[in-house]
């Protein structure tokens, strides 16, 4: 009845606005927490996938290196047998084949090192992006809490 005559209307209006502000703030905080949880889950999945890719690449590299070593050993054995038969011509062939095999093995090792370095850099960048995003979202959450405190004190 006091509101009809103008005495208590502002208090009622301030109460309604305060409740609405708190409801909006709680909704924003819940959305921020859900976004942080989704980002953490996505980053974990991406890191697991990258680690699995690294493992597959490492296994493939080991298989390739073992195959190259087997081929080198077989070629050396064949060349030694042939050297016994024809000494003069085979000397040049042995040197050329060994040099080619050493160069190929060196290039494979360099390729493996480059792939591993690139994959490690990708993982480091993913972790850094994750940390930056989480820090930004936590900062927004802190600002929202401070805003709520300011609303409550006002």
Please check whether residue 69 is in contact with residue 104, taking contact to mean a CB–CB distance below 8 angstroms.
no
Q: Which residues contact 14 (CB under 8 A, 6 or more apart)?
A: none
Q: What is the mean pLDDT of the chain?
A: 80
| Axis crossing angle, helix 9-85 with helix 87-153, rounded to the nearest 10 | 170
Q: Which residues contact 13 (CB under 8 A, 6 or more apart)?
A: none
> Is the per-residue pLDDT at 1 higher than 50?
no
Higher-scoring residue by pLDDT: 5, 52: 52
Write the Ramachandran bin of 86: left for phi over 0, alpha for psi from -120 to 50, otherwise beta: beta
Q: What is the pLDDT of residues 62-116, one digit of tens each?
A: 888 889 888 888 888 887 776 666 676 667 777 888 888 888 888 888 888 888 8
**Domains of the chain, residue spans:** 3-153
Please check whether residue 17 is in contact with residue 111, taking contact to mean a CB–CB distance below 8 angstroms.
no
């Amino acid at each position: 009845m006091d509101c009809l005559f103008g005495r208590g209307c502002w208090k009622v209006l301030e109460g309604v606005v305060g409740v609405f502000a708190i409801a909006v703030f709680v909704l924003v905080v819940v959305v921020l927490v859900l976004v942080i949880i989704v980002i953490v889950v996505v980053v974990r999945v991406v890191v697991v996938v990258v680690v699995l890719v690294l493992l597959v690449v490492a296994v493939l590299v080991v298989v390739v290196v073992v195959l190259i070593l087997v081929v080198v050993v077989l070629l050396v054995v064949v060349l030694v047998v042939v050297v016994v038969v024809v000494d003069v011509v085979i000397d040049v062939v042995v040197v050329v084949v060994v040099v080619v095999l050493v160069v190929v093995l060196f290039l494979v090792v360099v390729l493996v090192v480059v792939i591993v370095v690139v994959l490690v850099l990708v993982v480091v960048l993913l972790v850094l992006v994750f940390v930056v995003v989480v820090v930004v979202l936590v900062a927004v959450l802190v600002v929202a809490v401070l805003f709520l405190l300011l609303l409550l004190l006002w």
